[in-house]
Amino acid sequence: MSLQELGISHKKIKKKKVAYFNFQGEIKDIHPKIEQFYEKCKDFVFGPAIAIIDYGVYSEGGKDIHLCFQLKNQKKNNLQIKFLESIEVLSITHQGSFDTLNKTFQIISSYLQDHLVSGTSLLRLIYHKYNKKNPEKNQIELQFPLHKWDDRLEKNLDKVLGKKIRNEIMKGRDELFTIESSCEDRIQWLKSMLDRLDKIATDDEKYDIISRCAHEFSQKRIDYMRRIYEKNRNIDEVLIEMRKDYTWYENPVRKGNIVFVSKIPVNPEEYENAKTLEDKKKHYCHCRFINSNLDKGISSTFCNCGTGWYRQIWEGILGKPIRIKILKSLLKGDETCQVAIYLPENKILN
């Protein structure tokens, strides 16, 4: 079904200046806080409440949530203020009780999955109508920010290889890699694009281009690890802290200035119960482009996208460029994925 038939719209949201407060919780915890926060800021704001849920940051207290209202004036106030950056989203409006919100959520979620369209770790909820007494009159817009992988690729190609080569490598994108393209068309374009890139670029160039296309790793997590490092300038203290959060950081091991990381399965239980190697690999790989398309002949160059998370983490912690080498990957025929992260030697405190 098309976006229109599903009731989904594709649109760009302009940059907004908002008043906000941050808390940890779940979607059900947002509703009681809307009135409380509005009473505090009503003289300075306008429009519906905006809740931004970050699924990349969570704790025992729940997910990281920012509740926002758009700012209407610059009068002196004691509110926390920030900008919500311009984003491109898939949007759908939920009408009715919060109890059935998940059904509306699943419409876009299924579309993203079926068409291999990448979202981010964020979800925006816009409370256009909030009726506490009659929940059936609630009107909540769900906005799924898009991770524009191909736009990032285009920008990085231009920067590293130049406009002429970028146009050659990107050809076919507008026909085969749109929001409404089929899964098959998107995979066909991805494979052809990587084949063209492999013929032109060096390994270092491919790393620099593709690793910068990766999903954003949580800036809050990076800032937390950077503070640990800056306290004593000791990499091992950072690694110890990372090992406490196995789901996000796996089990990094340092040898000299090299940190080795082996990926953990994206679906651990299904991976353990898989009867065939093919099924194990499907439940091991974290990339939706790859885990169901391992037989399509996609170049292992694409795995540089996965190195982008580690690049963001370690360059964010150290404030210096790093290099990452792929040691094992499913696309190379291996049964697991492993990377070597080369840290600047002057950043290591033994």
d(CA 347, CA 257): 8
Place of tokens 């302009």: 14
Q: What is the mean pLDDT of the chain?
A: 93
Rounded Cα distance, 92 and 8, in Å: 5
Closest CA relative to residue 283, chosen from 299, 269, 301, 304:
269
Tell me what pLDDT residue 128 has: 94
* Structural fold of domain 3-145: Multidrug-efflux Transporter 1 Regulator Bmrr; Chain A (3.20.80)
- pTM score, whole prediction: 0.90
- Strands 338-342 vs 258-262: parallel, antiparallel or unpaired: antiparallel
% of the chain with per-residue pLDDT over 90: 83
- The number of angstroms, rounded, from the C-alpha of 335 to the middle of its chain's C-alpha atoms is 25
**pLDDT of 229 higher than 90:** yes
**15 close to 84: Cβ distance less than 8 angstroms:** yes
Average pLDDT over residues 263-288: 93
DSSP assignment of 116-163 equals T--B-SEEEEEEEE--SS-GGG-EEEEEEEB--HHHHHHHHHHHHH-H
- pLDDT single digits (tens) 80-128: 999 999 999 999 999 988 888 999 999 999 999 999 999 999 999 999 9
Read off the pLDDT of each residue in 43-60 and give the average, rounded to a whole number.
Answer: 89
Helix/strand/coil for 164? helix
183: Cβ–Cβ under 8 A, 6 or more apart, which residues? Answer: 114, 115, 116
pLDDT reported for residue 134:
83
User: Is the pLDDT assigned to residue 60 strictly greater than 80?
Assistant: no
Give the closest residue to 124 by CA, choosing from 208, 225, 52. Answer: 52
Could you state, in order of their start, the residue ranges of all structural domains in the chain?
A: 3-145, 149-202, 219-347
Q: At what angle do helices 304-318 and 219-232 cross, to 10 degrees?
A: 50
- Give the sheet arrangement for strand 323-328, strand by strand: 253-255, 258-262, 338-342, 323-328
Q: Residue 349 — very low, low, confident or very high, per pLDDT cuts 50/70/90?
A: low
